[in-house]
Amino acid sequence: MNDTILKNGLVVTPGGVIRGGVAIKGERIVAIGADESLGQAREVVDMAGKIVFPGIFDPHFHLGNGDEVGYDAMREDFYLESKEMAVAGVTLFATTTLYGKESLVESFDKTLACGENNSFVDYKVTCCVSVEEHIAQMAPAAARGCVDFKFFIGYKGLQAESLGMSSDGITLGIWYKACREMARIGRPVFPKIHAEDPWVREILLDEIRKAGREDYLVAWAEHSPGYGENLQIYSAAVIAHQFRVPLYVVHVSAKESPGLIRYLRKEGMNIIAETTPAFLCGDARELEAAGLKGRAKIQPPIRFKEDSEALWAAVERGEITIIGTDSLPYSTKYKDSAGFWDLRVGLNCQVPATIPLMMTEGVEKGRIDLTVMAKLLSENAAKLYGIYPLKGAIQVGSDADLVIIDPEKEGKLGADKLRGKSDYSIWEGRPVRGFPVMTFVRGRLVARDGEVVADKPDGRHIVGVKPRGM
């Protein structure tokens, strides 16, 4: 006897969309197919034609680095932001450790402790490499289950120092040594980079501030030229390639970048490109006109229509293969507390907009289909992290991580949809079609119709295959 059957739906599998349903027993999927093939269950739920979609894996979060910074804040963030994720269809996410010089093992363990018995969805931890001493600590962190290491190579000066780095930031020498060490540790370990040249950006920002410009978000977009993203992608990729280390470029934002990524891949380099819904669907001029100011200040910046169109084209061509949100637990408490130039960068929790924007701007407009959307939001990241097909797919034997999407449900994005710490939306009033209505984590119903229904958090730290060099 199965525990749950979801019938009469459109099931998005790695091989395509099938009409029928899914049977769940315990934490796993035990059958997929036509309704009559699924057997019996204690509970049968009629999907009424809704989409049965793999739970989202969002690999780009920064808990503990929002309104307040620290492990007490992170503990609260795990609880509140995982509620937001559950409602939005995210069943697994990766968050960075706190920034700084603390040992990678210590920061990894403390981050895990913050999530234990405190998250409604499953999670992984990304270690931030800030100083050269961290390189020797990567292997012990990998042994504990860390797969990805974050390098803020786009920072220098005071901004780098604020993240625990020296004023020189992550130099190419540090990067070289880190890639050599990751090659020794072996896959699935990989680096993530924030690519955004800080040298030209510093000059342009100084000039813009002296000019007294008050079109803040447009000026912010102009202070960080797209070619600066390319400069750092190229240098990081060339060094990583010497050690056959894959390079994950987070939040690709500029129209110039897809062409470079395409070229590097033709040269045999393993480049994984991520972008965000904010960069696919946002425009600095529109956000400025909406008066969002510091609430929409992110680095790299939300750019312009021509950039978002280039990014969508790159998604269609398969050059951008992962969607993350780069979310931070901000509220108006911080984002409205100071002038634009003095505010820290980062968008608040963006996951409530992920499925509606991808359905509306992607599927509805014919840019992607549901199978591609599943790869972008779940499958590709799970494969990279070495946890596929346990995670990232609707397959027999996989964890029953599922989100049910109502493709006909229309509405507007806004703060009324939020259930975590955030109390504003940069998408306020934007009409969309296609909303998550149910979320299952390992077979357990955790959210329904915009509310968390799980009685307590039961998320786990997910560990995949052991690095081959360990």
Q: Looking at residue 470, what is its pLDDT? A: 57
Q: What gap in Å lies between CA 351 and CA 347, rounded to an integer?
A: 11
**Could you list the pLDDT tens digit for every one of the 470 residues in the chain?**
999 999 999 999 999 999 999 999 999 999 999 999 999 999 999 999 999 999 999 999 999 999 999 999 999 999 999 999 999 999 999 999 999 999 999 999 999 999 999 999 999 999 999 999 999 999 999 999 999 999 999 999 999 999 999 999 999 999 999 999 999 999 999 999 999 999 999 999 999 999 999 999 999 999 999 999 999 999 999 999 999 999 999 999 999 999 999 999 999 999 999 999 999 999 999 999 999 999 999 999 999 999 999 999 999 999 999 999 999 999 999 999 999 999 999 999 999 999 999 999 999 999 999 999 999 999 999 999 999 999 999 999 999 999 999 999 999 999 998 888 899 999 999 999 999 999 999 999 999 999 999 999 999 999 987 777 65
Spatial distance between the Cα atoms of 466 and 167, rounded to a whole number of angstroms: 35
Q: Are 276 and 296 in contact (CB under 8 A)?
A: no
Q: For residue 386, which phi and psi values (nearest 5 degrees)?
A: 75, 25
Beta-strand relationship, 402-412 and 51-54? antiparallel
Distance from C-alpha of 7 to C-alpha of 278, rounded to nearest angstrom: 34
Instruction: Return d(Cα 221, Cα 163) in angstroms, integer.
Output: 22
List the 122-128 sheet strands across, edge first.
56-61, 90-96, 122-128, 148-151, 190-193, 247-249, 271-275, 322-323
Is there a contact between 186 and 468 (Cβ–Cβ < 8 Å)?
A: yes
Q: Residue 146 is which amino acid? A: C
- Give CA separation, 279 vs 70, 251, 429, in Å: 28, 8, 18
Go through 131-166 and write b for each residue having 16 or more CB atoms within 10 A of its CB, e for each that does not: eeebbebbbebbeeebbbbbbbbbbbeebbeebbbb
Burial of 412-432, coded b for 16+ CB within 10 Å and e otherwise, reads ebeeebbbbbbebbbbeebeb
Query: Tokens 């969508």 map to which residue?
Result: 312
3-state secondary structure the chain: CEEEEEEEEEEEECCEEEEEEEEEECCEEEEEECHHHCCCEEEEEECCCCEEEECEEEEEECCCECCCECHHHHHHHHHHHHHHHHHHCEEEEEEECCCCCCCHHHHHHHHHHHHCCCCCCEEEEEEECCCHHHHHHHHHHHHCCCCEEEECCCCCHHHHHHCCCCCCCCCHHHHHHHHHHHHHHCCCCEEEECCCCHHHHHHHHHHHHHCCCCCHHHHHHHCCCHHHHHHHHHHHHHHHHHCCCCEEECCCCCCCHHHHHHHHHHCCCCEEEEECHHHHHCCHHHHHHCCCHHHHCCCCCCCCHHHHHHHHHHHHCCCCCEECCCECCCCHHHHCCCCHHHCCCCECCCHHHHHHHHHHHHHCCCCCCHHHHHHHHHHHHHHHCCCCCCCCCCCCCCECCEEEEEEEEEEECCHHHCCCCCCCCCCCCCEEEEEEEEEEECCEEEEECCEECCCCCCCCECCCCCCCCC
CATH value of 56-384 in 3.20.20.140, 3.20.20.60, 3.40.50.300, 3.40.50.10680: 3.20.20.140
- Buried residues in 18-31 as b, exposed as e (16+ CB within 10 A): bebbbbbbeebbbb
Helix 172-185 with 226-242: angle, nearest 10 deg: 50
Quickly tell me which residue has 């296609």 as its tokens.
434
The pLDDT score that the predictor gives to residue 469 is: 65
Nearest to 260 by CA among 175, 197, 308, 320: 320
257 neighbors 229 (Cβ within 8 angstroms): yes
Q: Which CATH code, of 1.10.357.10, 3.30.70.360, 1.20.1740.10, 2.30.40.10, is assigned to 2-53+395-408+433-452?
A: 2.30.40.10
Q: Do the domains at 2-53+395-408+433-452 and 56-384 have one common CATH topology?
A: no
Mark 100-122 as b/e (b = at least 16 C-beta within 10 Å): eebbbbebbebbbebbeebbbbb
* Annotated domain spans of the chain: 2-53+395-408+433-452, 56-384
